[in-house]
Amino acid sequence: MISSKEILNITEFLKQSGLSYEADLDLKEFSYFRSGGLVKMVIYPRSMDELQRFVKFMHEKQYEFKVIGDTSNLMFLDDVTYGVLLSLKHFSSIQYNEEEGVIVAQAGASLPLLSRQALLWGITGYENFEGIPGTVGGGIFMNAGAYGPEIKDCLIKVYGVRANGEKFELTNDEMNFAYRETLISKHAGEYFITHADFKATKGDTQRIFERMELLHAKRHKYQDFLYPTLGTLFAGTEIYSAIGRDDKKYTLMLRVLERLIFSKKLRRERPMNKRRLNDFVCKYFGWTFDVKPFSDKTMNCITNRGQHTDKILEYIELLKKHLPETARLENEIIYDFRYKD
Ligand SMILES: Cc1cc2nc3c(=O)[nH]c(=O)nc-3n(C[C@H](O)[C@H](O)[C@H](O)COP(=O)(O)OP(=O)(O)OC[C@H]3O[C@@H](n4cnc5c(N)ncnc54)[C@H](O)[C@@H]3O)c2cc1C
């Protein structure tokens, strides 16, 4: 929680230090999911020195703030006013050091751009990241990945600033990479990633291109591109079978329906659309929604169709009750970092 007096102190510090920031932004316009109330300040350091000074100041004053990337995994809550966000959007360069065989990408650079840049350089290993709509920093934080490969597979070393303002370096081993988890995500708020060294393994450009094309097309089949979403809701979970795993009748009906609706013959030539399967699940369990909180392409993905985020939270809770305890929420709901007048 941060107060109006503390916001005034921060503003004074930013002005004195010449750091750029924006005040009173509407998160419905700013955030990827187009949700949330206002945010009092978003800070945009332009250099390592500015970042260190800001982080140190906040640490000494014990003021809380949250670092963000493209917010493509974050749900801000409607009617909540948040305090301070730190954006590294000016840390956006991606460079290829051919002599050392290393790509150096800054935290605020886009992950899809890194993937496309690698294609231009004829470097393989980044094909699968083209459709992950976040930043390099956000991707490293949670070890993002798709169709198998993850950030950990191409990362050499991470650099940044710790909460006390001191610089840090972490090797791939030291990052303790796991499925959608890292040392940094386990200690959220302690490490601010500024850039990273990545492997630069030369590959066949045509093959890289073909793989990217294939994965790009695949994504359009199972992912909503019209309503704002946050990607997968529960990581590593086959949601349709998991929600009724102990119910034999449901499991049997699901199998039959999946065969009927998604037989290869019917599916050919048209995007996979799970609307009918979703209707079956809702009818079976007696779930009704004024506004659908999930995607027509999968119930494992929330969609913003203009409803209040409370309704989306209700849906998440509903799913949690039906899913095994091991099902892990991948999207991050932002309950903290609030502003109080
Ligand atoms: C349509 C869609 C498809 C998606 N597909 C995938 C997918 O295939 N695979 C996948 O893994 N994810 C996927 N996601 C989820 C999301 O894109 C990833 O989690 C992505 O890595 C988040 O990056 P971001 O920059 O948006 O981070 P944000 O959402 O802004 O932040 C995520 C977390 O990272 C932290 N963070 C961000 N930057 C830094 C930094 N510089 N230093 C320290 N911490 C930082 C934040 O504090 C936050 O806790 C998808 C999302 C959408 C909307």
3-state secondary structure of 95: strand
Report pLDDT for 266: 56
Report pLDDT for 98: 93
Q: Which residues of the chain have pLDDT under 50?
A: none
**Residue 167: its H or E element:** strand 167-171
What DSSP state is assigned to residue 292? -
Tens of pLDDT along 217-272? 988 888 888 999 999 999 888 999 999 999 999 999 999 888 877 666 555 555 56
Residues 270 and 206 in one domain: no
What DSSP state is assigned to residue 279? H
Residues 65 and 102 in one domain: no
Report pLDDT for 70: 98
Helices (H) and strands (E) counted in the chain, each on its own, are 12, 19
Residue 101 CB partners (closer than 8 Å, separation 6+): 199, 200, 201
Q: Which two tokens stand for residue 227?
A: 């309503």
CA torsion angle 90 96 100 102 (round to 10): 70
Residues 98 and 208 in one domain: yes
45 lines ligand 1 (CB under 6 A): no
What DSSP state is assigned to residue 233? S
Q: Which of 199, 216, 233 is the last residue of a domain?
A: 216
Domains identified in the chain, total number: 3
- Distance from Cα 10 to the centre of ligand 1, integer Å: 27
Q: Which of 176, 195, 216 is the last residue of a domain?
A: 216
Residues 82 and 100 in one domain: no
Residues 175 and 105 in one domain: yes
69 lines ligand 1 (CB under 6 A): yes
Report pLDDT for 261: 72
Q: Which of 156, 188, 216 is the last residue of a domain?
A: 216
CB 158 within 8 A of CB 175: yes
Of all protein residues, the one whose alpha carbon is nearest to atom 8 of ligand 1 is 146
What residue numbers bound the domain in which 288 lies?
225-332
73 lines ligand 1 (CB under 6 A): yes
CATH number of the domain to which 71 belongs: 3.30.43.10
CB 61 within 8 A of CB 330: no
Report pLDDT for 119: 98
Residues 159 and 261 in one domain: no
Model-level pTM? Answer: 0.95
Q: Which two tokens stand for residue 284?
A: 């079976």
Residues 203 and 104 in one domain: yes
Residues 83 and 99 in one domain: no
CATH number of the domain to which 168 belongs: 3.30.465.10
